[in-house]
Amino acid sequence: MLIIGIAGGTGSGKTTVVQQIMNELPLEEVGIISQDSYYKQTPELSYDERVKINFDHPNAIDFELLTTHLAALKAGETIEQPVYSFITHNRTTDTIITHPRKVMIVEGILILSDARLREMFDIKIFVHADSDERLIRRLKRDIAERGRDMQEVLNRYQNTLKPMHDQFIEPTKAYADIIIPHDRYNTVAIDIVRAVIDQKLI
């Protein structure tokens, strides 16, 4: 199994890069694990308390479960990937049955901040985008898909998201094998990734 880690700041274009890589591979050979599914469970907290959690800090992620699941997939086992609700800020009771594939893509803003995960990645990719562009994408997404209002998104960006990006996400660029500037459709970078994948799968 080839494991690819794709990191980058919020709104950097990670999802687009994932889709571009997937488009280059047979569907049955590639699977995806999202860091967002692995936010820690906090059933003991009220909704108002959960809203105050710093979700952009590594402590918010259940890296223990994520690495355990990734190791299980690499061993040929099927896992039940958690489903997280950004509306309630907690995991749901649903799970996603995820089978081992020749290529597993793990994507998320903080995945390169955990040493255990980094060691499991055969290819580490960092998607870079201008901070203004990332904010605009985050605004559009959170308002359209996560029921946020503009002031809430801007407050979170200013108070937690940007400081956490500078402290925990941007520095992980140093661990990347490939840095993709995502201010346009980067066919050369995707072709390089595809060539590496083909070489690893031989």
The pLDDT tens digits for 56-81 are: 899 999 999 999 999 999 999 999 99
Which pLDDT value is given to residue 42?
86
**With contact defined as beta carbons under 8 Å apart, do 37 and 83 qualify?**
yes
Helices 187-201 and 14-23, packing angle to 10 deg: 50
Name the residue type at position 145: E
The span from the CA of 191 to the CA of 87, in Å, is 37
Q: H/E element holding 82?
A: strand 79-85
Which pLDDT value is given to residue 61?
95
Q: Tens-of-pLDDT digits for all 202 residues of the chain?
A: 999 999 988 777 788 888 888 887 888 888 999 999 999 988 888 888 888 888 889 999 999 999 999 999 999 999 999 999 888 888 898 999 999 999 999 999 999 999 999 999 999 999 987 776 766 777 777 777 666 777 777 777 777 778 888 899 999 999 999 988 865 566 787 888 888 888 777 6
CATH at residue 45: 3.40.50.300
| Residue 202 covered by a domain | no
| Residue 198 covered by a domain | no
Which pLDDT value is given to residue 134?
66
Instruction: Show the domain range for 100.
Output: 2-190
Quote the Cα angle for 6-147-86, to 5°.
45
Which pLDDT value is given to residue 147?
66
- Structural domains in the chain (count): 1
Reported as a single tens digit per residue, the pLDDT across 148-163 is 777 777 777 777 778 8
Which pLDDT value is given to residue 124?
95
| Residue 196 covered by a domain | no
| Residue 138 covered by a domain | yes
Cβ neighbors of 124 (< 8 A, separation 6 or more) are 4, 5, 7, 112, 118, 175, 176, 177, 178
| Residue 16 covered by a domain | yes
